[in-house]
Amino acid sequence: MRVYSHDLTDAHVVRMRDDLTKARELGGATTSLLFLEGRFALAVSRDRARALEFMEAAESLGALNPIGLNFKAGLMHNGRPDEAITLLSRAGDLDPTNTETFRFLTRCYWDLRRPAEAFQVLRAFNERNQTKLPKGDLVFAFTGQTEELARDVSKLSPEIDEGQRLQMQLHLARAQKRSSDLIAIVDRSSVKELRPLDWSGFPVPLVGHKPVAELYGWAKLLTGDRAGAVSDGRTMLKFVDRQPVTPTNDWYLRLLAAEGWLFSGDISRAVAETRSALARTGTGTNFTTSHYRRTAAMIFAWAGEENDAVALLERLATEFPSAGPAEITRDPLYSTPLANSLRYQALAKKLEAEIAENQKLLVESAK
């Protein structure tokens, strides 16, 4: 199994652990070694607390460089976001051209539902650097406007990962309510498997890949082709059966299976697998579980479990880390199956008022 660029097969984990032990024996606990030990603790054990201990030990030996500050901020993002912002601001001062730092800083403000500060971070970075950070996702998430997102998609580099390109094109099409274009967009791509990506194009950690059948399945549901989605559901279930199960991906594979059962028409199995996946993510909030609560909400919505779907959307609209209001009200994967839900309508009314205020905010921040 490969996560980010880490090979997490058992044999490679053993070699990494042996290398870290030998490095300690030869050179002691240096800043660079402690940083690597922190990365190892997070990637292999998902032990954020232990990884943070390594980073604080590294910092006690001397100031962290921007890479170290970014990593430490990532460890503190869940639960201590204001401290993460402080770390990222320090990293930005040290390296004002570092796109990763400023994307992450924007993400922190996004998750705290502070769009004015997120807009300002992107605007200031783009004004002083030749390399520009895309802002279409942020603008759409908080204002519902898609023009900037369309420009970002049109300017994607030829070197960009094709799976990322495909997912961004589909995101734009859904944002613009072009459901009839979704299948054609997937057809034009040669992608067979995808890395799950977050809003900024980084892989969602510790979960693995997913088949392109997922994209076809959702597109067919949106266009009313439930019969056509059945084959995509079967493809997804076969894909899940082939994947090695680990302590870090069990919940993710169950969620993929839930999508497969939904597309196949077995609604009760889809709901049961979704509940099982959510139970395995725990009760805490972090970006990964927040990201996939969106998928769970979609499954519940299309399975007719509207109260469970809207309950998840209400959490995404208010808890940290959050989704932008337009991500909830303007995505047809929610709005189509929940169109007659009074609870969803009430949530959407509240969020649309927030969107209107954010549109004014965006105008003010551009002055």
Is 34 part of any domain? no
Phi-psi map region of 319: left, alpha, beta (phi>0 left; psi -120 to 50 alpha)? beta
Is 198 part of any domain? yes
Q: How far apart are CA 367 and CA 270, in angstroms?
A: 48
pTM comes to: 0.87
The confidence score (pLDDT) of residue 2 equals 39
CB 121 within 8 A of CB 106: yes
Beta strands 6-7; 2-3: pairing state: antiparallel
Is 271 part of any domain? yes
Is 87 part of any domain? no
Q: How far apart are CA 285 and CA 3, in angstroms?
A: 21
- Expressed in angstroms, the distance from the first to the final Cα of the chain is 48
CATH code of the domain in which 291 resides: 1.25.40
Q: What is the pLDDT of residues 126-181, one digit of tens each?
A: 999 999 999 999 999 999 999 999 999 999 988 888 888 999 999 999 999 999 99
In angstroms, the Cα distances linking 184 to 11, 67, 173, 188 are 42, 40, 11, 6
Q: How many domains is the chain partitioned into structurally?
A: 1
The confidence score (pLDDT) of residue 42 equals 82
The confidence score (pLDDT) of residue 9 equals 64
Three-state DSSP class for residue 194: strand
Q: How far apart are CA 128 and CA 120, in angstroms?
A: 12
Q: What is the CA radius of gyration of the chain?
A: 21
- Which parts of the chain have pLDDT scores under 70? 1-9, 197-207, 282-289, 364-367
Is 175 part of any domain? yes
Element (H, E) at 193: strand 193-194
Q: How far apart are CA 259 and CA 51, in angstroms?
A: 33
Three-state DSSP class for residue 53: helix
Q: What is the pLDDT of residues 34-75, one digit of tens each?
A: 998 888 888 777 788 899 999 999 999 988 999 999 999 988
CB 86 within 8 A of CB 72: no
Is 50 part of any domain? no
Is 94 part of any domain? no
Return the number of other C-beta atoms located less than 10 Å from residue 320's C-beta: 16
- SS in 3 state form for 99-161? HHHHHHHHHHHHHCCCHHHHHHHHHHHHHHCCCCCCCHHHHHHHHCCCHHHHHHHHCCCCCCC
Phi, psi of 204 (to 5 degrees): -70, 125
Where in the sequence is the domain holding 367, given as residue range(s)?
134-367
Is 151 part of any domain? yes
The confidence score (pLDDT) of residue 87 equals 96
